[in-house]
């Protein structure tokens, strides 16, 4: 049985560059299984590819949009005229979406939104939410690829190139599909989440017919409307990060920040060429906690970076004591083929690196354990990941609180877990600490 395939009308005006944009959009539409129609009346919607070069071209484009609106009524406008702020919208306020030229992904996002291709299990190789490697109830949402920084210990930019952000409409549509497929927690990932949209000059995209800027704060705000847990990873401490903390305080996104600080002394941070290295991270952390006392801060550090003196290292330990971070990973510096840091002078001997790593972990273990101890007696909402049994065959749920990201943080072992299933949210009373994990129970409805 064949399902109804949406038909898309297409009108293309303008120069060869506009023609080539049209070809890419038409190719993508066909590749996704849409039919192309040459009748306004029989199309589910119409894409008008415009020109805005001279006055007569503007007029011709506005007329073409008007004709498509009259004869069909569902119109997506793309091309050069779309880049002229407000021109299309003021002449034709009811168009579905407007994009500039060279905007294949944004046009496709608008098409998907307004005329979704029905999923056909007989012919589609993948479900609408894509193929996932994670359990049914949580998913990673990648918002960009590559990185504009050049940290001296890292070779990612040479492998993956500069930052390329995904259009916000696509990202939000993917998030919506995940929620529709039963996902209860989305983990936002990238190489540098704070930089989302920099490469696009934070341009406006569309989601559910409304404009949304390609920016971390607006992305977080929009994701919060999905009503599930939203967790942000790889956030560099730029000043605009302060704007997402109130969303955490209001319970709109999880009060959890994964901020890879890597070191604490300005000299080493500079030698690492770290983004936001001149920020006063201690006062930022203090300010975040004032706005959202519940916030969990996770970070990673490198001990024994080339040039790190004993004094630098002690400053790093002092930073740990002052910052009181909740979750911390640390690595002894090791050379990566092709990284600039390999050529830095004053490489630290292996045994000193190892000794510093263990001193670092000793300090942080004490801090993290004390923070976990303080949770005993509190009520925590947890998300059940899986079920297991203890040595007496009692059913135990392995769950995570708002403070625990999958794979990298601890878990909450929930006693008396009969009847629970993965993906359930429940409230538990925290009874004990077990290493990096907590023990809680009995579960009550969240
Ligand atoms: S470590 Fe630095 S260069 Fe490497 S991906 Fe992260 S921010 Fe970019």
Ligand 1 touching residue 211 (CB < 6 A): no
**Interior/surface letters 346-372, b for 16+ CB within 10 angstroms, e for the rest:** ebbeeeebebbbeebeebbeebbeebb
Question: 165: part of which helix (H) or strand (E)?
Answer: strand 164-165
* Half-sphere exposure in the Cβ direction for 97 (13 Å, CA): 30
Helix (H, G, I), strand (E, B) or coil at 160: helix
Q: Is the CB of 308 under 6 A from ligand 1?
A: no
CA–CA gap between residue 185 and residue 399 (Å, rounded): 13
Does 151 contact ligand 1 (Cβ within 6 A)?
yes
Neighbours of 48 (CB within 10 A): 28
Atom 6, ligand 1: which residue's CA is nearest? 191
Substitution candidate for ligand 1 out of 192, 198, 269, 333 with most atoms within 8 A of CB: 192
The answer to whether residues 247 and 253 touch, using CB atoms and an 8 Å cutoff, is: yes
Ligand 1 contacts CB of residue 66 (under 6 A): no
Query: Rounded to an integer, what distance in angstroms lies between the CA atom of residue 268 and that of residue 273?
Result: 8
Distance 236 CA to ligand 1 centre (A): 10
Q: Answer yes or no: are the C-beta atoms of 356 and 268 closer than 8 Å.
A: no
Quick one: which atom of ligand 1 is closest to the CA of 262? 1
DSSP state of 262: B
Q: Is the CB of 276 under 6 A from ligand 1?
A: no
Q: Is the CB of 157 under 6 A from ligand 1?
A: yes
Classify burial at 390, counting beta carbons within 10 Å of its beta carbon; exposed 0-12, middle 13-18, buried 19 or more. Answer: exposed
Q: Please, are residues 197 and 164 in contact by the beta-carbon 8 Å criterion?
A: no
Q: Which residues of 30-41 are buried (b: 16+ CB within 10 A; e: fewer)?
A: eeeebeebeebe
- How many whole angstroms from its chain centre is CA 364? 27
Please say whether the beta carbons of 90 and 59 come within 8 A: no
In angstroms, the CA 378 to CA 401 distance is 12
- In whole angstroms, give the CA distance from residue 253 to residue 54: 46
Q: What does pTM read for this prediction? A: 0.75
The neighbour count for residue 161, using CB atoms within 10 Å, is 12
Q: Cα separation of 206 and 210, whole Å? A: 5
Distance CA 322, CA 385 (A): 33
User: Who's near 66: CB < 8 A, 6+ residues apart?
Assistant: 91, 92
Distance 371 CA to ligand 1 centre (A): 29
Give the nearest ligand 1 atom to 153 CA.
1
Q: How far apart are alpha carbons 308 and 172 in whole angstroms? A: 43
Residue pLDDT, tens place only, 241-255? 999 999 999 999 999
Atom of ligand 1 nearest to the CA of 274: 2
The protein residue with its alpha carbon nearest to ligand 1, atom 5, reads 191
**Residues 257/235, Cβ–Cβ less than 8 Å:** yes
Mutate to test the pocket of ligand 1, among 160, 191, 301 (most ligand atoms within 8 A of CB): 191
CA neighbor of 219 nearest in space, from 157, 280, 172: 172
Check if 9 has its Cβ closer than 6 Å to any atom of ligand 1: no
**Residue with CA at minimum distance from ligand 1 atom 4:** 154
Which residues on adjacent β-strands are paired with residue 76? Answer: 47, 97
CA of 220 to the centre of ligand 1 (A): 22
Per-residue model confidence as pLDDT tens for the chain (446 residues): 345 789 999 999 877 677 778 888 888 888 788 889 989 999 999 999 998 777 788 899 999 999 999 999 999 999 888 888 788 999 999 999 998 887 888 899 899 889 987 666 666 666 666 666 778 899 999 999 889 999 999 888 887 789 999 999 999 999 999 999 899 999 999 989 999 999 999 999 989 889 999 999 999 999 999 999 999 999 998 888 999 999 999 999 999 999 999 999 999 999 999 876 656 889 999 999 999 999 999 999 999 999 999 999 999 999 999 999 999 999 999 888 888 999 999 999 999 999 999 999 999 999 999 999 999 999 999 999 999 999 899 999 999 999 999 989 999 999 999 999 999 999 999 999 999 999 998 999 88
Query: 340: Cβ below 6 Å to ligand 1?
Result: no
Does 269 sit in the ligand 1 pocket, CB within 6 Å?
no
Q: Give residue-wise pLDDT tens across range 133-161.
A: 778 899 999 999 889 999 999 888 887 78
Asked whether 156 lines ligand 1 (CB < 6 A), one says yes
* DSSP per-residue codes, 277-345: TTS-HHHHHHHHHHH-TT-EEEEEEEES-TT--HHHHHHHHHHHHHH--SEEEEEE----TT-GGGG-S
Q: What pLDDT is recorded for position 131?
A: 65
Q: How far, in Å, CA of 103 to CA of 351, rounded?
A: 53
């Amino acid at each position: 049985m064949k399902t109804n395939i949406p038909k898309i009308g297409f009108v293309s005006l303008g120069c060869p560059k506009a023609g080539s944009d049209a070809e890419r959009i038409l190719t993508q539409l066909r590749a996704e299984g849409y039919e192309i129609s040459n009748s306004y009346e029989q199309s589910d919607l119409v894409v008008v590819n415009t020109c805005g070069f001279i006055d007569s071209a503007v007029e011709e484009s506005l007329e073409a949009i008007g004709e498509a609106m009259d004869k069909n009524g569902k119109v997506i406008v793309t091309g050069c005229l779309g880049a002229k702020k407000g021109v299309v919208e003021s002449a034709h306020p009811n168009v579905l979406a407007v994009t500039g030229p060279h905007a294949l992904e944004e046009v496709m996002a608008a098409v998907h939104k307004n005329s979704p291709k029905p999923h056909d299990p007989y012919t589609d190789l993948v479900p609408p939410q894509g193929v996932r490697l994670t359990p049914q109830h949580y998913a990673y949402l990648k918002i960009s690829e590559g990185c504009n920084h050049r940290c001296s210990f890292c070779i990612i930019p040479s492998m993956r190139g500069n930052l390329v952000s995904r259009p916000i409409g696509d990202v939000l549509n993917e998030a919506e599909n995940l929620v529709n497929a039963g996902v209860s927690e989305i983990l936002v990932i990238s190489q540098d989440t704070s930089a989302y949209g920099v490469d696009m000059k934070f341009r406006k995209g569309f989601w559910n017919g409304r404009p949304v800027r390609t920016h971390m704060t607006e992305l977080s705000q929009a994701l919060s409307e999905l009503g599930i847990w939203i967790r942000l990873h790889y956030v560099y401490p730029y000043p605009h990060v302060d704007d997402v903390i109130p969303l955490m305080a209001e319970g709109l996104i999880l009060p959890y920040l994964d901020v890879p600080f890597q070191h604490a002394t300005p000299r080493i941070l500079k030698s690492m060429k770290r983004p936001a290295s001149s920020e006063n991270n201690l006062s930022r952390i203090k300010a975040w906690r004032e706005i959202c006392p519940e916030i969990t801060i996770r970070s990673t550090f490198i001990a024994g970076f080339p040039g790190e003196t004993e004094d630098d290292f002690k400053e790093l330990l002092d930073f740990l004591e002052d910052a009181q971070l909740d979750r911390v990973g640390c690595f002894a510096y090791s050379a990566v083929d092709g990284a600039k840091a390999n050529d830095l002078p004053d490489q630290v001997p292996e045994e000193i690196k190892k000794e510093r790593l263990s001193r670092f972990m000793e300090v942080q273990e004490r801090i993290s354990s004390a923070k976990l101890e303080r949770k005993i007696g509190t009520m925590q909402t947890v998300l059940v990941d899986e079920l297991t049994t203890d040595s007496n065959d009692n059913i135990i749920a392995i769950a995570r609180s708002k403070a625990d990201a999958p794979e990298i943080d601890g878990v909450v072992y929930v006693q008396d877990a009969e009847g629970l299933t993965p993906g359930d949210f429940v409230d538990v009373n925290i009874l004990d600490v077990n290493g990096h994990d907590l023990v809680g129970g009995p579960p009550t409805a969240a």
